[in-house]
Amino acid sequence: MSYINDLKKVVEINSYTKNKDGVNIVGEIFDEWFESLGFKTTIYNRDNIGNHHYYQSAHINNAPKLLLLGHIDTVFPPNKFEYFTQDDTWVYGPGVCDMKGGNIVLLEALRKVKNKGLVIKNIDILLVSDEETGSDDSKYLSAELAHAYDYCFVYEAAGADMELVTGRKGVGTFFIDIEGKAAHAGNHYNDGYDANLELSYKLQSLVQLTNLKKGTTINVGKIEGGIGANTISPHSKMIFELRYKYAQERERILKEIETIVQKSFIEGTKSTLSGGIQRDVMQTSESSLQLLKKIETITQQKIVAQERGGVSDANIVSSCGVVTLDGFGPYGDGDHTVKERALKNSFVRRIEMSKQLFEYFIKNLKF
């Protein structure tokens, strides 16, 4: 398990999304590892975040191509959670499952393929630097590159029963700013336009759009407004999140949101909407289920399909029409907390699975 030492090396380097230097150091380590396997590195330099890293193998023209997708950033700022530990069963540390551990799985599987004397071809890798903050920069790069690929494996953590992910909800983050008119709450109550009251009506209307049967939720996560108890509120604002399981629900909700924003429940108030869809839905498709069955045949094991409410960069690539599966990383829990851990034997299982899939793809150039 020498790859555990590789995991330790990158986990102990803080790669908080906003820690550009730390993220870049981790990226440079992966550069060295992938280049030793024959990959050609392209670095997409960024000024305010870490660089994105794209690794290309030899290509057979006009043959299907496979993209392996991961990220090298983590969620904790420097000096908060930076250590790596292990026991007989688990490894612990920032990114051991989300998702430096997943990157190590794909790396080690490719090493095993290379060690068998196979030439790695038509398999490329993209490691982005800002996934944990929404991929606001890298999503454009991921979408641009995705169109060249037929398949995509994403190395986020596996499920508890080693599931692969066939679907993820879409997510959008929105902001509503409400302008009212201040007035003395005692002497001139009727002269004011209460922005806080307007917000309360809008909040209730938004939440009513939730449809749990269809997997659609609206969460108003933060509200602000007003000056003080003796003043009619001249301004208020809210931040809310939309999650949806189906594309048709996205269209329905977006229209309803516009209607709610444009309507003034309190005469005299004006509202402005900003924000939008961050990552579109990754819907389970017949193509993804067929690929899952093919993987079962190749690996001679039963694999459970899973749909998740959380998002990943799989959403982006899937939205470009690429047959995408997620969850190829190790199993772990506690991600985004100081209790993050990953199960050691899940690394063994996932590395073997990926090795078998890479070998099959290289020999057949298709799934």
Q: Which residues contact 137 (CB under 8 A, 6 or more apart)?
A: 46, 49, 52, 129, 130
Same domain, 12 and 128: yes
Q: Which of 303, 354, 363 is nearest to 125 (CA)?
A: 354
User: What percent of the chain lies above the pLDDT cut of 90?
Assistant: 100
What residue numbers bound the domain in which 175 lies? 170-279
Per-residue pLDDT of 75-95, as tens digits, reads 999 999 999 999 999 999 999
Half-sphere exposure of 14 (CA within 13 A, CB side): 12
Predicted confidence at residue 32, as pLDDT, reads 98
Same domain, 49 and 153: yes
Same domain, 25 and 128: yes
Domain endpoint, select from 250, 279, 308: 279
Domain endpoint, select from 254, 279, 304: 279
Same domain, 209 and 131: no
Q: How confident is the model at residue 1 (pLDDT cuts 50, 70, 90)?
A: confident
Same domain, 16 and 155: yes
Domain endpoint, select from 279, 309, 328: 279
Q: Contact at 8 Å (CB) between 315 and 156?
A: no
Same domain, 187 and 100: no
Predicted confidence at residue 350, as pLDDT, reads 98
Given a cut of 90, whether residue 279 has pLDDT beyond it is: yes
Predicted confidence at residue 144, as pLDDT, reads 98
Q: Which CATH number do you get for residue 179?
A: 3.30.70.360
305: buried, middle or exposed (CB in 10 Å: 19+, 13-18, 0-12)?
A: middle
Place of tokens 């977006």: 254
Q: Contact at 8 Å (CB) between 329 and 102?
A: yes
Place of tokens 């939205």: 319
Predicted confidence at residue 45, as pLDDT, reads 98
Same domain, 154 and 32: yes
Q: How confident is the model at residue 33 (pLDDT cuts 50, 70, 90)?
A: very high
DSSP string, 168-200: E-EEEEEEEEEE-B-EETTT-GGG-B-HHHHHH
Q: How confident is the model at residue 306 (pLDDT cuts 50, 70, 90)?
A: very high
Q: Which CATH number do you get for residue 348?
A: 3.40.630.10
Same domain, 28 and 129: yes
Same domain, 154 and 285: yes
Same domain, 233 and 314: no
Per-residue pLDDT of 165-212, as tens digits, reads 999 999 999 999 999 999 999 999 999 999 999 999 999 999 999 999
Mean pLDDT over each residue of the chain, to the nearest integer: 97
Same domain, 243 and 212: yes
Predicted confidence at residue 97, as pLDDT, reads 97
Dihedral pair phi/psi, residue 344, rounded to 5°: -60, -45
Peptide linkage before 238 cis (omega within 30 of 0): no
Q: CA 45, CA 141: separation in Å to the nearest integer?
A: 12
How many structural domains are present in the chain?
2
Predicted confidence at residue 304, as pLDDT, reads 96
Q: CA 215, CA 219: separation in Å to the nearest integer?
A: 13
Token code pair at residue 117: 């004397």
Per-residue pLDDT of 121-156, as tens digits, reads 999 999 999 999 999 999 999 999 999 999 999 999
DSSP helix/strand/coil, 232: strand
Same domain, 132 and 158: yes
Mean predicted confidence (pLDDT) in 310-336:
97
